[in-house]
């Protein structure tokens, strides 16, 4: 086998994700990393539906569906309950969308990680409220079309930097990952599992339906996001130590990533340049942080 | 062991004796002492429980739902706006068939800010699927916490135990605190029927289509119906073990009463005094204490009021646009009964305004002097 | 098992919303309108290999460490990997897509590595198909003849090879010097063929020592007489002493006979014979050797590596020049008068036609002239029953001549001029003769410019090109060079110049291979399927679980080597 990926499958086919959706990919890899001594919590998001209706489930681990804003709070309760029952080694992971993480659930998430609750919080970020039909969230990138940021008035605010917010809580481990790099994602989930305390993973998850992209290109887009530095893959430990885990082979212009998505079709060249400038600046800042931590930076 | 303690602490002792395993709480006046004492119990090992200091009541109930689903005996306490904030999660807990016990200290809903007692906060949650018990004394609060876990874990519905702000919560009363061994013999450890178990994985609370939803709600309905009988049995058993039996209602000097007062909470103690006075005066009055509000004990209420000519319902709450909530429920209990007393619905004591023996006397006077209520809701002791 | 859960009564239902089964009940395959299918495409190396080898397949086996299996795969198609791995012009490498990301895979050196493996060669098993007592005669023991004999003998035929020379091997023996192809390598591979029961009778020249009338015992005949006659210079002074026709010169050298070269040698021509002759001349003691070619370096048909090696050894190359007269004194060569050329429009071979530049004549002093202008076949023994055209025996795509039961191949019929082509040609005829003698129709043979497979794989004929490869999965890695003896040392003798790959080199090259169009079980499709419906068949490829496949196309898009195609669903529905 040419990939360093566990064989065990804890997700079954028959789930109802759209063809080419990144969300089941993220969950499948996460579950491979965690194994079956895991309790999964899914808050209102596409995965609430992807998991299948009563009386079926698409995952072979205990799964608790919960309310939209409760990703951090339910997990805290579940962890406490499992420990009270003597199941001290069972991993608790919340799987939440960007809406439930960046917006309605941010309070409970912040509180849970401030308390350093022992759980993993994985946000699969498709950059809008996709389950309700593509409305903008604070994770929607600048300039993107959504149904509530129509073409005549696209999103004017930059994407909220959730990793920075989590890092500011000084939790033991924060990381980004995406579905085109499963080995990197799996390594990060395994690392998270081995740490006691709060672990936050931000996973970019392409959505052909909401991004207006080809289903076949979801992995390709996810890779482009990394290679163009729009979505760098890195880790932050204790809020201070940065290290970049996948270096782009050759920094690709953001235009290549944007033009494959209908949600950016209305952008003018100056808009693309604006995005490029921001990406470049943020990337340089990130590289500087990695350097300051002592990471060797390739040319 | 007898101690003179405030109602809040009585609840804390009840929770300790019930061996709760997970507690999540957020402070709100006048609940704070409940969780402060529990916090101390946890810190010094008198209670082996995990105490999660969440950041809002919405998270409180979510955490408790999580803990209960994970198979732990879970408890929390709140009041007023805190209860309001957890509204959507209350539905989730009840529909989730989780045997959670929560103490709610009845406090007025703002605006303006008002910390004193009123029943609207808990009654506004009457549709969520939670059972509700209204406590008359601090003793009853402690006793009902212990019984609450047993009832909840039998019918698999969450239980709300309600006590008045300040009148009970902060007032010291003598309370018999049972010993742990006796409580253990009465209340065994929680043995969950459905839980998050990696060795037997299931998904809980996912999408339910119209094809299946009604049956699941019907099962809840059946559990609610069963809960009346279960509460009676548990109350009787409690009486045998601890010497203090409990029922879903209490009839006080109802035999031969022409006017029956219907009360709940601490007003009941005041009403007892007034009923004794009037009876001593030769007046045929009686008292029906509503201990259980959800499920509403229709039969017990109907049976207790069968002989009354007039029924005076005392509501320390208001459903704006309708009236007192106990009155509405009693009215519906009486609908279709072969004997129809005249029902006088009284609104009194909102926002913590004191309800005195004089207040109860005015209520009885009104009922006596009127053949029918002059208004849809009779507001007592309101300024002109 | 449908996995569907049906509740007949409320009592059957659980108390709360909880799962009782998996989503396997939900056959999401009904969603799709396109479906992925595993369909290998043609790799460019496979498309051009004249011997018809399945290169991409055996490279994959080497990458897995299955050397014996890889060698067998070659032997299924070609009994001379040791020869080809040394002398083939390797068109596979010229077409190799890896050339654009670090350098073409060193397939040539790989073939030699496998041929030279110390373990005993085992031939792949083959069911005999020969009718009882079937006998076949092969005329010529060069690569075409022996390849035909090999494939026939493996199928149970009794084969007799008639060879004009006293030695066996055709051009492999007499045309290619031993510093390129050591004698013992050739001997060993010929011996493997003989070991199958093939009879080789040497010193039997067809048209001289035997004719068609002697072959009535044979049910079929394969003519593989090659092109052993040098084309003439057709200039004055050609007959002088010191003018040594290239083929004859090399034959003398390779048979260990005395071959006299002077000290200043001019070789005329640009093919392998010219280059070989120039390098042999150096080794025989010539102090100055120049190769005169009438076109430019770009048009030289000789193998590029060989040209480079010749230059390293000190051979000088002069382009755009042609001889017009051999200067003599006492009938001995003293010099060569030449004229400069320039390139005009392309001729029938596709190469630009050289044109004389008038008034540009000049003279060089040489004492030996070796013309190596190309080869011709001696077809004088044929009668009118066997048609020829342009100096070649006319054959169809089955190798059949105009006369029934007589087939032809190799240079005498195709004129392609390489060992690999001849091997492919001999194999083609063997497969056709086998069908013919079993009374089967001779159809399904590819055109004469395409390769023939003895063990074909079902593949889409579309050739995968570099732009089709998914470069996200590959890093630039440089090609592994084959070690060589230094030039100054190697011109002193006829020992082998190239030293061959070590195991590490072979593995590295095999791992660099893109495996164009050919699934090599990299697991990428399995890894990325969002619906977990690509199943690994334990080393035997993959299977799509069409009950659930939604047709998203990620597998096809990500397959690094275009081995998955998306097809319209409608054609799959009844």
Is residue B156 within 8 angstroms of chain C, CB to CB? yes
Q: Are residues B230 and B288 both part of a single domain? A: no
Q: Could you give the number of structural domains in chain B?
A: 2
pLDDT band at B222 (very low <50, low <70, confident <90, very high): very high
Q: Burial-class residue A263 by CB neighbours within 10 Å (0-12, 13-18, 19+).
A: buried
Long-range pairs, C440-448, Cβ under 8 A, ≥24: C442/C398, C442/C400, C445/C397, C445/C398, C446/C397, C447/C397, C448/C395, C448/C397, C448/C414
C9: distance to nearest CA of chain B, Å?
Answer: 9
Mean pLDDT of A152-166: 95
Q: Are residues B370 and B288 both part of a single domain? A: yes
* CATH code for position A53: 3.40.50.970
- Pick the last residue of a domain from B188, B214, B242: B242
Q: Which residues of chain C lie closer than 8 angstroms to A1, CB-CB?
A: 523
**The CATH number of C262-373 is which of 1.25.40.10, 3.40.640.10, 3.50.50.60, 1.10.3470.10?**
3.50.50.60
Beta-carbon contacts of residue A173 (< 8 Å; ≥ 6 apart): A191, A192, A195, A197, A198, A199, A200, A235, A236, A237
Does residue A11 sit within a domain? no
Per residue in A198-257, pLDDT (tens digit) is: 999 999 999 999 999 999 999 999 999 999 999 999 999 999 999 999 999 899 999 999
Give me the sheet containing C316-319, strands edge to edge: C316-319, C288-293, C264-268, C368-371
**In chain B, whose CA is at the least distance from the CA of A67?**
B89
Nearest to A219 among C3, C550, C558 (CB): C558
Q: Could you give the number of structural domains in chain A?
A: 1
Mutate to test the interface with A, among C8, C529, C530 (most CBs of A within 10 A): C530
Both tokens assigned to C82 = 């040791």
* CA–CA gap between residue B125 and residue B83 (Å, rounded): 8
Q: Are residues B79 and B207 both part of a single domain? A: yes
* CA–CA gap between residue C374 and residue B125 (Å, rounded): 102
Residue C35 CB neighbour total at 10 angstroms:
20
Q: Do A12 and C23 touch (CB under 8 A)?
A: yes
B66: distance to nearest CA of chain A, Å?
Answer: 4
pLDDT band at B119 (very low <50, low <70, confident <90, very high): very high
**Terminal CA-to-CA distance of chain B, rounded, Å?**
49
Among B67, B250, B90, B220, smallest CA distance to B160 is for: B90
| Domain boundaries defined on chain C | 22-40+519-572, 41-123+458-512, 135-228+377-437, 262-373
Q: Which residues of chain A lie closer than 8 angstroms to B88, CB-CB?
A: 67
Q: How far is CA C222 from CA B145, C83, C162, C428, in A?
A: 103, 22, 10, 11
Both tokens assigned to B38 = 């529990």
Q: Would the pLDDT of A86 be above 70?
A: yes
Residues of C (1-20) whose Cβ lies below 8 Å from B? 7, 10, 13-20
Nearest to C17 among B156, B216, B218 (CB): B216
Mean pLDDT of B22-44: 97
Q: Which of the 8 DSSP states describes residue A160?
A: P
Q: Which residues of chain C lie closer than 8 angstroms to B194, CB-CB?
A: 14-16, 18
- Pick the last residue of a domain from B178, B213, B242: B242
Domain with A287, as residue range(s), is: 22-293
Q: Which residues of chain A lie closer than 8 angstroms to C533, CB-CB?
A: 13
Mean pLDDT of A14-38: 98
Q: Quick check: C282 and C491 in contact, CB under 8 A?
A: yes
Residues of A (185-244) whose Cβ lies below 8 Å from C? 208, 214-220, 223
C548: distance to nearest CA of chain B, Å?
Answer: 21
- For residue A298, what pLDDT is reported? 85
- For residue A1, what pLDDT is reported? 54
Q: Are residues B261 and B192 both part of a single domain? A: no
Nearest to A81 among B55, B68, B198 (CB): B68
Q: Do A107 and B56 touch (CB under 8 A)?
A: yes
Strands (DSSP E) contained in C44-163 are: 135-139, 158-162
Q: Are residues B234 and B263 both part of a single domain? A: no
* CATH code for position B179: 3.40.50.970
Q: Are residues B369 and B260 both part of a single domain? A: yes
Q: Do C15 and B205 touch (CB under 8 A)?
A: no
DSSP A218-241: HHHHHHHHHHTTSS-EEEEETTTE
Backbone angles phi, psi at B146, to 5 degrees: -65, -45
Is residue A84 within 8 angstroms of chain C, CB to CB? no
- Helix ranges (DSSP H) in chain B: 7-17, 32-43, 57-69, 80-85, 87-95, 120-123, 138-155, 180-186, 210-242, 267-280, 298-304, 325-334, 357-369
A122: distance to nearest CA of chain C, Å?
Answer: 18
Which numeric CATH code is attached to C22-40+519-572?
Answer: 3.30.70.20
Size of interface B-C (CB pairs under 8 A): 41
* CA–CA gap between residue A74 and residue A108 (Å, rounded): 9
pLDDT band at B280 (very low <50, low <70, confident <90, very high): very high
Q: Which of the 8 DSSP states describes residue C484?
A: B
Q: Are residues B87 and B189 both part of a single domain? A: yes
Domain with B162, as residue range(s), is: 2-242
A53: distance to nearest CA of chain B, Å?
Answer: 5
Q: Which residues of chain A lie closer than 8 angstroms to C21, CB-CB?
A: 55-57
Residues of A (6-65) whose Cβ lies below 8 Å from B? 36-39, 41, 48-49, 51-57, 59-65
Q: Would the pLDDT of A41 be above 70?
A: yes
Q: Quick check: B14 and B146 in contact, CB under 8 A?
A: yes
**In chain C, whose CA is at the least distance from the CA of B97?**
C16
Q: Would the pLDDT of A162 be above 70?
A: yes
pLDDT band at B192 (very low <50, low <70, confident <90, very high): very high
Q: Do C7 and B206 touch (CB under 8 A)?
A: no
- Pick the last residue of a domain from B242, B277, B310: B242
Does residue A49 sit within a domain? yes
Mean pLDDT of B132-144: 98
Residue B315 CB neighbour total at 10 angstroms:
30
Q: Which residues of chain B lie closer than 8 angstroms to A110, CB-CB?
A: 55
Tell me whether domains C41-123+458-512 and C135-228+377-437 share a fold: no
Beta-carbon contacts of residue C277 (< 8 Å; ≥ 6 apart): C246, C249, C250, C267, C370, C372
Among B219, B220, B243, B232, smallest CA distance to B300 is for: B232
B202: distance to nearest CA of chain C, Å?
Answer: 5
User: Which parts of chain C sit beneath pLDDT 70?
Assistant: 1-2, 572-574
Q: Do A56 and C21 touch (CB under 8 A)?
A: yes
C275: distance to nearest CA of chain A, Å?
Answer: 44
Does residue B384 sit within a domain? no
pLDDT band at B58 (very low <50, low <70, confident <90, very high): very high
* CA–CA gap between residue B152 and residue B272 (Å, rounded): 30
Q: Which residues of chain B lie closer than 8 angstroms to C18, CB-CB?
A: 194, 202-205
Does residue A15 sit within a domain? no
Nearest to B59 among A37, A61, A111 (CB): A111
Domain C41-123+458-512: top CATH class? mainly alpha
Q: Which residues of chain C lie closer than 8 angstroms to B208, CB-CB?
A: 17
Q: Burial-class residue C447 by CB neighbours within 10 Å (0-12, 13-18, 19+).
A: exposed
Q: Which residues of chain B lie closer than 8 angstroms to A43, CB-CB?
A: none
Per residue in C426-452, pLDDT (tens digit) is: 999 999 999 999 999 999 999 998 999
Q: Do B88 and A90 touch (CB under 8 A)?
A: no
The alpha carbon of residue A132 and the mean position of all alpha carbons in its chain are separated, in whole angstroms, by 18
Mean pLDDT of B229-254: 98
Beta-carbon contacts of residue C103 (< 8 Å; ≥ 6 apart): C478, C479
Q: Do A53 and B206 touch (CB under 8 A)?
A: yes
Is residue B239 within 8 angstroms of chain C, CB to CB? no
Q: Do B194 and C7 touch (CB under 8 A)?
A: no
B30: distance to nearest CA of chain A, Å?
Answer: 23
Q: Are residues B125 and B193 both part of a single domain? A: yes
Is residue B197 within 8 angstroms of chain A, CB to CB? yes
**Residue reference for tokens 């004194």:** C329
Is residue A54 within 8 angstroms of chain C, CB to CB? yes
Beta-carbon contacts of residue C120 (< 8 Å; ≥ 6 apart): none
pLDDT band at B193 (very low <50, low <70, confident <90, very high): very high
Residue B238 CB neighbour total at 10 angstroms:
21
**The CATH number of C135-228+377-437 is which of 2.120.10.30, 3.20.20.190, 3.50.50.60, 2.60.40.10?**
3.50.50.60
Q: Which residues of chain C lie closer than 8 angstroms to B91, CB-CB?
A: none
3-state helix, strand, coil in chain C (%, to 5): 30, 20, 50
Q: Which residues of chain B lie closer than 8 angstroms to A70, CB-CB?
A: 58-59, 62, 65-66, 89
Q: Are residues B345 and B328 both part of a single domain? A: yes
Q: Burial-class residue B44 by CB neighbours within 10 Å (0-12, 13-18, 19+).
A: exposed
Nearest to A3 among C21, C32, C527 (CB): C527
Which pTM value belongs to this model? 0.93
Higher-confidence residue of C203 and B339: namely: C203
- For residue C1, what pLDDT is reported? 59
- For residue C574, what pLDDT is reported? 60
* Binding partners of A (≥3 Cβ pairs within 8 A): B, C
**In chain B, whose CA is at the least distance from the CA of A51?**
B206
Nearest to C10 among B95, B206, B218 (CB): B218
A28: distance to nearest CA of chain B, Å?
Answer: 16
Coil, strand or helix at C398: coil
Q: Are residues B233 and B295 both part of a single domain? A: no
Q: Which residues of chain A lie closer than 8 angstroms to C22, CB-CB?
A: 12, 14, 52, 56-58, 60
Q: Are residues B79 and B38 both part of a single domain? A: yes
* Binding partners of C (≥3 Cβ pairs within 8 A): A, B
Q: Are residues B40 and B170 both part of a single domain? A: yes
């Amino acid at each position: 086998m040419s990939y360093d990926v566990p064989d065990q499958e804890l997700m079954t086919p028959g789930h109802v994700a759209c063809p080419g959706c990144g969300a089941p990919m993220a969950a499948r890899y996460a579950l491979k990393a965690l194994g079956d001594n895991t309790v999964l919590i899914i808050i209102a998001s596409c995965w609430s539906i992807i998991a299948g209706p009563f009386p079926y489930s698409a995952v072979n681990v205990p799964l608790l569906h919960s309310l939209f804003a409760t990703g951090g709070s339910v997990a805290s309760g579940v962890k406490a309950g499992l420990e009270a029952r003597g199941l001290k080694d069972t991993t608790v992971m919340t799987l939440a969308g960007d809406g439930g993480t960046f917006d309605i659930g941010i309070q409970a998430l912040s509180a849970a990680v401030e308390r350093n609750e022992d759980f993993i919080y994985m946000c699969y970020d498709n950059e809008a409220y996709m389950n309700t039909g593509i409305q903008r969230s604070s994770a929607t990138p600048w300039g993107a079309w959504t149904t509530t940021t129509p073409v005549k008035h696209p999103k004017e605010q930059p994407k909220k930097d959730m990793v920075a917010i989590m890092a500011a809580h000084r939790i033991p481990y924060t990381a980004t990952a995406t579905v085109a790099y499963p080995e990197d994602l799996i390594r990060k989930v395994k690392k998270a599992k081995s740490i006691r305390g709060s672990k936050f993973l931000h996973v970019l998850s392409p959505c052909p339906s909401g991004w207006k992209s080809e289903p076949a290109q979801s992995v390709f887009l996810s890779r482009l996001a990394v290679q163009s530095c729009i979505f760098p893959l890195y880790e932050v430990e204790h809020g201070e130590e940065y290290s970049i885990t996948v270096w782009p082979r050759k920094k690709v212009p953001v235009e290549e990533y944007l033009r494959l998505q209908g949600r950016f079709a209305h952008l003018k060249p100056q808009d693309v340049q604006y995005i490029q400038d921001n990406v470049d600046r943020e990337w340089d800042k990130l590289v500087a942080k990695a350097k300051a931590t002592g990471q060797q930076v390739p040319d | 062991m007898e101690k003179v303690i405030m109602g809040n602490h009585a609840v804390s002792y009840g929770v300790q004796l019930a061996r709760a395993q997970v507690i999540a709480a957020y402070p709100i006046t006048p609940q704070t002492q409940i969780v402060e004492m529990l916090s101390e119990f946890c810190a010094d090992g008198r209670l082996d429980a995990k105490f999660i200091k969440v950041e809002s009541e919405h998270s409180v109930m979510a955490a408790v739902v999580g803990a209960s689903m994970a198979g732990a005996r879970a408890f929390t306490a709140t009041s007023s706006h805190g209860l309001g904030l957890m509204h959507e999660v209350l539905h989730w807990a009840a529909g989730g068939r989780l045997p959670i016990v929560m103490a709610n200290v009845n406090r007025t809903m703002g605006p303006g800010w008002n910390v004193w007692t009123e029943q609207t906060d808990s009654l506004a949650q009457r549709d969520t699927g939670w059972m509700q018990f209204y406590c008359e004394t601090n003793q009853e609060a402690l006793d009902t916490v212990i019984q609450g876990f047993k009832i909840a874990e039998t019918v698999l519905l969450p239980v709300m135990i309600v006590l008045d702000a300040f009148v009970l919560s902060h007032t010291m009363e003598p309370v018999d605190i049972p010993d742990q061994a006796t409580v253990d013999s009465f209340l065994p450890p929680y043995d969950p029927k459905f839980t998050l178990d990696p060795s037997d994985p299931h998904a809980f609370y996912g999408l339910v289509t119209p094809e299946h939803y009604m049956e699941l709600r019907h099962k809840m309905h059946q559990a609610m119906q069963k809960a009346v009988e279960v509460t009676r049995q548990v109350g009787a058993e409690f009486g045998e073990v601890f010497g203090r039996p409990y029922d879903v209602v209490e009839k006080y000097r109802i035999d031969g009463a022409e006017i029956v007062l219907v009360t709940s909470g601490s007003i009941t103690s005041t009403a007892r005094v007034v009923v004794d006075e009037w009876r001593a005066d030769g007046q045929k009055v009686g008292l029906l204490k509503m201990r259980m509000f959800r499920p509403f004990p229709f039969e017990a209420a109907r049976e207790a009021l069968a002989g009354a000519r007039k029924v005076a319902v005392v509501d320390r709450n208001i459903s704006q646009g309708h009236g007192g909530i106990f009155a509405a429920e009693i009215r519906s209990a009486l609908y279709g009964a072969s004997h129809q007393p005249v029902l006088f619905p009284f609104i009194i004591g909102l926002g913590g305004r004191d309800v005195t023996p004089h207040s109860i006397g005015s209520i009885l006077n009104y009922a006596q002097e009127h053949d029918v209520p002059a208004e849809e809701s009779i507001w007592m002791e309101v300024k002109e | 098992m449908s996995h569907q859960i049906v509740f007949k009564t409320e009592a059957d239902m659980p108390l709360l919303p909880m799962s009782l089964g998996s989503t396997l009940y939900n056959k999401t395959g009904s969603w799709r309108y396109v479906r992925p299918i595993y369909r290998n495409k043609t790799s460019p190396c496979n498309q051009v290999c004249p011997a018809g080898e399945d290169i991409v397949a055996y490279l994959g086996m080497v990458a897995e460490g299955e050397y014996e299996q890889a060698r067998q795969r070659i032997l299924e198609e070609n009994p001379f990997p040791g020869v080809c791995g040394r002398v083939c012009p390797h068109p596979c490498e010229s077409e190799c897509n890896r050339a654009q990301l670090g350098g073409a895979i060193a397939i040539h050196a790989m073939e030699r590595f496998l041929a030279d493996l110390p373990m005993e060669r085992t031939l792949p098993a083959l069911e005999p198909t020969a009718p009882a007592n079937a006998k076949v005669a092969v005329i010529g023991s060069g690569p075409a003849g022996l390849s035909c004999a090999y494939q026939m003998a493996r199928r149970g035929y009794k084969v007799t090879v008639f060879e004009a020379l006293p030695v066996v091997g055709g051009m492999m023996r007499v045309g290619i010097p031993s510093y390129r192809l050591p004698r013992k390598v050739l001997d060993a591979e010929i011996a493997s063929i003989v070991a199958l029961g093939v009879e080789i009778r040497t010193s039997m020249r067809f048209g001289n020592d035997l004719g068609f009338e002697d072959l009535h015992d044979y049910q079929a005949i394969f003519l593989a007489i090659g092109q052993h006659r040098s084309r003439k210079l057709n200039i004055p002074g050609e007959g002088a002493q010191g003018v040594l026709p290239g083929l004859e010169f090399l034959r003398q050298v390779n048979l260990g006979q005395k071959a006299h070269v002077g000290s200043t040698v001019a070789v005329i021509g640009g093919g392998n014979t010219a280059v070989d002759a120039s390098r042999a001349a150096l080794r025989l003691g010539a102090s100055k050797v120049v190769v005169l070619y009438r076109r430019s370096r770009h048009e030289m048909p000789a193998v590029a590596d060989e040209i480079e090696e010749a230059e390293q050894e000190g051979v000088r190359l002069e382009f755009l020049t042609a001889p017009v007269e051999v200067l003599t004194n006492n009938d001995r060569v003293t010099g060569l008068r030449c004229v400069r050329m320039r390139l005009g429009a392309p001729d029938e071979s596709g190469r630009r036609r050289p044109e004389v530049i008038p008034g540009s004549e000049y003279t060089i002093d040489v004492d030996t002239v070796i013309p190596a202008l190309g080869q011709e076949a001696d077809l004088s023994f044929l009668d009118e029953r066997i048609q020829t055209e342009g100096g070649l025996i006319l054959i169809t795509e089955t190798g059949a001549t105009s006369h029934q039961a007589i087939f032809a191949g190799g240079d005498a019929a195709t004129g392609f001029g390489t060992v690999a082509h001849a091997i492919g040609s001999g194999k083609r005829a063997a497969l056709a003769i086998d069908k013919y003698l079993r009374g089967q129709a001779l159809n399904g043979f590819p055109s004469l410019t395409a390769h023939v497979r003895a063990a074909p794989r079902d593949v889409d004929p579309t050739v995968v090109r570099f732009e089709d490869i998914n470069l996200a999965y590959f890093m630039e890695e440089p090609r592994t060079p084959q070690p060589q003896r230094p030039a100054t040392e190697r011109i002193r003798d006829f020992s082998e110049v190239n030293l061959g790959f070590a195991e590490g080199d072979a593995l590295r090259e095999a791992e660099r291979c893109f495996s164009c169009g050919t699934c090599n079980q990299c697991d990428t499709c399995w890894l990325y399927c969002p619906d977990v419906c690509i199943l690994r068949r334990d080393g035997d490829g993959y299977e799509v679980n069409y009950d659930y496949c939604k047709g998203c196309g990620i597998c096809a898009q990500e397959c690094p080597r275009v081995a998955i195609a998306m097809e319209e669903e409608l054609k799959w529905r009844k």
